[in-house]
Structures are given as structure tokens and as C-alpha cells.
Chains A and B, each alone.
Chain A
Amino acid sequence: MKVAVCIKRVPDTEARIKIGSDGKSIDETGVKFVLNPYDEYAVEEALKLKEQAGSGEVVIIALGSDASQETIRTALAMGADRGVLLKTDAVSLDPVANAQALAGELEGGAYDLILFGKLAVDDSSQAVGTMVAELLGMPSVSAISHLQIADGKGRAEREIEGGVEVVEFQLPAVLTAEKGLNEPRYPALRGIMLAKKKPLEVKDVEVGEGGVTMGALELPAPRAGGRILGEGPDAVPALIEALRTEVKVL
């Protein structure tokens, strides 16, 4: 079982976001960067599939700056075999351009499965994995929370509004991981030591600009919240009154 996992380096979900002086990007000072949470599920699933198959290879691929090497090492510490950094100064704002760059690397890699996170928590496009599948002409299922693989076929479940879709597909395929697919393992100390020696190839790539440009990046207007109506059950009538007259939801 040969599996590729595409991962992205993103700000920690706890990070406080400040706008940089250009007004178009975030100020990265003091921001901690992590492996995108959804990509952890993808890495875990790849490792499990390889373990189940008894043999194979898990290859980690990231498109980004040199700093992404550290993120690749995190996935290697979890147990992946080798990494590839597609080095670029700037990823595109247009997911198609990033998908094209990743597809260029994945093409001809003879992978049985190519896994992605459902979404990168920085740009939240929820697009790159499904786009790569289309660019490579491979079947794909997005945002899966359950997966079974047997005899060159797969069965995956994805949550939709008010239900769960069950999709059957043929391998090779592209899948994107939703929370709930598995419980990602933590890199053990031994894994972290081993990861330092695992191969990590760095290749320069050109990422197209795409068809999207940033006008401005701003902080959202703070919600004018903070009206405490009172304490305990006695405050309930005031709430009902507010909902009825001021916001008209009742």
C-alpha cells in the first residue's frame, strides 16, 4: 500500500491573529505554527492502512516555504517514511494554483491512495484535495469520517446535512479526512529521534498566481456583545422580552 499525504503548515488554532503592516497578510511574530489538524487525521489513516496491509510506504508532501520542513518532520515522527517539500516562497490565494502544483508532484507516483485533510484551517477553502483528484482524473470522496478498504475497493462515509452519505469507490483514489475518522497518534520520543534521519527531499516549484488577488485583510468587527440580563431563572422573562421585541425571533 503506497500512500501519499499532503500536509500544510498552519497557525495553531489557539493563535491570536494580528494583521501585518501590509494590510494583506497576518503578522507572524509570536504565532505558533502546527500541522493542520485535519491533516493529522490523514497521516494517521495512512499509517493505519500501511500497517493493515503489512507493507508499503507513506510519503508526506507539503507545498510551502522552508519552514514547512519542521511540519513534515512532525508527520515523519508519527511514523511516515519520507517527505517531499515543494519549496515556494508563497502559496497562491487561489486553491486551483496550489492543487496544480501538488498534482504535478503526485502524478506518476503510483500511489494507491492520496490523502488530504478536509480543510486547511488558515485559508479554509476545503478544496485542494478534491481539485487534485480532478486534475489527476482520480475518483475522490471528501470529508470522510469512516473508511474501509478491501480488494482494491473502498467504502467511505461522509456527513451531510441531516444524514451520512455512503460512497463506494475504486482504488487508486483521493480522500480527504474529517474529524472522527480516527484518533491521531502522538509522536513518541523514539519517533521524533527516528524522524530526524528520515529522507526529506526539497524541490523548488513554481506556483501559478491563480485568478485571485488580496485587496485587504481585516479583523472582523467585534460583536457588540456583553449584555448580562441578570442572574438565575428570574432573568428569563427579560430574555424572552428581548428576543420578542428587540430581535423578533420569537
Chain B
Amino acid sequence: MAGVLAVLEQRDGALKKVSHEVLTAAHGVAGGLGGSVEAILVAPPGVDTDSVGAFGAEKLFVVAHEEFKLYQPEPYATAVVERAKSGGYAAVVLAATAMGKDLGPRIAARLACPLAADVTAIEANGGIKVTRPLYAGKALSELSITSAPCVISLRPNVFTAKEHPQEAVVEVVAAPGGPDAEVRARTVEVKEPESARLDVSEAAVVVSGGRGLKESDGFKLIEDLVDAFGNAAVGASRAVVDAGWRPHSDQVGQTGKTVSPQLYFAIGISGAIQHLAGMRTSKVIVAINKDKDAPIFKVADYGIVGDLFEILPRLTEEVSKARGS
């Protein structure tokens, strides 16, 4: 048992970027165990999987069905578990996305094997060790996995996807599987949000606003900065979500989303411990706050002290200029 099964994910018919992170990490684990990577994709027909070989998989099992445009928990789990049983892998690796957080526990329960969820590092050297943040990131645990197989879900945006220099050819195998005959839970639709902005958990740049914006209209300034970046998303503190200024899907923190973007802005956010829990693994943090003693400055790489209503228009203008040139 040295092989690794990478579980891939699609949206709107395209492979998700996070799947490249999963393949890269799976390749590292397989290398440390002396095995190879095989991948599985449960999806609607026609997903472009050309990149899968470049990220290190030797074989790709595709379970295709129209019904799998949307995540269908039970048949997805069945397909992965069947493959895991026939392949005898040491580990099943997937992303801790909305899908992976639901699918991972199902696979582990059905295989009666350990689950290490939302890991931020993996080390494989004969055995497997993982790092998992506990207590909302206030502590880091280093865990050894003592039985095989195991299921590991990876925190998105933490593992850097790396292509391999030599172009590998991936063998694509159509695998059996389809919707449940006897459906007990079925995803019937996905409602799209009103605005077509990126999700906080997926954007390279997150601009979060807090109570310092005074009212929900204040978020126009945040949206302007987001638009100036282009690849950015609006985030929010819980205070403004509870006030109804922003939807819960924007909330960053312990009872919101955990994000690890390249660049995180905390604007008019004090930096409560529950907010930090959701953003402290961001690569670069910028804080703008009128209170020079606000706790957010202790974790920020760069800070500007002052009135956000004066600073934001200037910042948006300069970002537009910098990106234009």
C-alpha cells in the first residue's frame, strides 16, 4: 500500500485550481511512500483533464454522468470508496472545499479509516505525518497517521501547485458509477449569488471590511477596491454580517470562512481573536484602522493608521494605476 488516490473536483465543467494543489500534494506523499498517484474525477461528461498528467498522476478514473454537474453526496462517495477499495491506496487525498468537507468524512466512515481534515502540511517518509491547526489556528498539531488507508483533506491555497518538467501521459479509464437508484438525499440546484464576485475562500486577494465602514453603503468603497484588483473578493467581519450589511458567505473567521489568500486587507476591523482565526494564514496582511493600538496591527505585515474613508479612494486609485501600467 504505497499509492495515493487524488480526488479531483470540477465546477461548471472545468477542473478546479485546487485540484492541482491536491495532485501536487498527492505526488509528494506518493514519493515519500515509494508509490504513484492515481486520480478520480466524478463529474459531468466533457471535463478537460489534460492538465492531470502534468501534475503527476499516472492514471485517471473518470466517473461521468449528467447528474454529476452538481455534487451528489452519496454516489460520489460510493464511486470514490469503490475505487479506494480496488486500488488499495495508502491515502486518499482531497481538498477541504465545501465538497471535500462533506465527502471526506463519508469516505473515511465507509472505509472505517482515519481522517485528517483541513491539513496545512504533509510529510511522507515511510509513514505519513500531517500538520493540522486546532483551536481555530491558535495551536498547531503534528499528527502521525498509524493505519492505512487514511483520508487527508488539504486546506485550499496552502499547498503550491507544481507542474512536473516532463510531460506525463495520463491513462484515462472510464469507471462505473451513476446516480443512486434509491435517492435519499439529492442536490437539486445551486443558487448563484446576485453578484458574480469571487468567493472569499478562492480569491487571490481578499478585501474585508468591518464595523469601521459605518453602514452597509460603506462597502461600496470595499467593492471599488475589489474591482480595482480584479482577482479579488469582498470579505467581512462577523459584526457587519450580524448587522445585516453583508451575507454570511462573506464572513471570515472562526464562525465564517478560513481564507489563505496572497493578500488580505482588514479595513475598519479591530482584529478580534475570532476574526484572526480565519485569516492569519494569509500570505500578506494589510490593515487600515484609525486606532493605532488596534490588535489587527499586531498580525498585519503593513499597516496604515487613519480614516478609511480618506484612505480607500486613494488606495483604489493607486491600485488601478499600478495594475494598468
Contacts and interface: CB of A to CB of B under 8 A. Distances in A.
Interface of A: 11, 13-17, 19, 26, 37-38, 93-96, 99, 121-135, 138-143, 145, 157-170, 173, 178-180, 210-220, 223-233, 235-237, 239-240, 242-244, 247, 249-250
Interface stretch (B23-31, B45-53, B133-141, B166-174): B133-141
B165 interface: no
Contacts of B262: 249
State the main secondary structure of chain A at its contact with B: mixed
B299 interface: yes
Contacts of A17: 135, 138-139
A124 B185 contact: no
Interface in B247-275: 248-249, 251, 254-256, 262-263, 273-274
A243 B74 CA distance: 45
B187 A240 contact: no
A130 B301 contact: no
B138 A179 contact: no
A218 B142 contact: yes
B219 to A, nearest CB: 18
Given A143-B98, A143-B101, A160-B190, A227 B303 contact: yes
A163 B117 contact: no
B142 A244 contact: no
A184 to B, nearest CB: 12
State the main secondary structure of chain B at its contact with A: mixed
8 contacts: A99-B109, A134-B77, A167-B185, A212-B146, A223-B285, A227-B303, A228-B304, A233-B314
A130 B185 contact: no
Interface of B: 11, 70-71, 73-74, 77, 97-99, 101-102, 104-106, 108-110, 112-118, 129, 132-147, 150, 184-193, 198-199, 201-202, 204-205, 248-249, 251, 254-256, 262-263, 273-274, 277, 280, 283-286, 292, 297-307, 310-311, 313-315, 318-319, 322-323
B117 A158 contact: no
A161 B109 contact: no
B185 A169 contact: yes
Contacts of B318: 236-237, 240
Contacts of B129: 215
B303 A168 contact: no
B114 A96 contact: yes
A236 B304 contact: yes
Contacts of A213: 143-144, 146
B74 A139 contact: yes
Given A17-B135, A130-B102, A179-B248, A211 B113 contact: yes
Contacts of B11: 161-162
Nearest to A155: B188
A99 B104 CA distance: 14
A124 B193 contact: no
B301 A140 contact: no
Contacts of A227: 300-303
A211 B114 contact: yes
Contacts of B188: 166-168
A11 B135 contact: yes
A185 B173 CA distance: 53
B38 to A, nearest CB: 22
B21 to A, nearest CB: 14
Contacts of A165: 70-71, 98, 187, 189-190
Nearest to A179: B255
B217 to A, nearest CB: 20
Most chain A CB neighbours (cut-off 10 Å) among B101, B110, B307: B101
B297 A126 contact: no
A19 B134 CA distance: 12
Nearest to A181: B248
B105 A231 contact: no
Given A179-B256, A244-B322, A249-B284, A233 B306 contact: yes
A37 B143 contact: no
Contacts of B145: 211-212
B141 A159 contact: no
A215 B249 contact: no
A161 B139 contact: no
Contact of A166 (B101, B191, B256): B191
B108 A122 contact: no
Given A127-B104, A143-B102, A233-B313, 4 more contacts: A14-B273, A38-B255, A167-B73, A242-B302
Contacts of B273: 13-14
B92 to A, nearest CB: 13
Nearest to A96: B108
Contact of B109 (A135, A164, A170, A226): A135
Contact of B202 (A129, A159, A162): A162
Contacts of B302: 227, 229, 239, 242-243
B306 A235 contact: yes
Nearest to B204: A249
Contacts of A37: 254-255
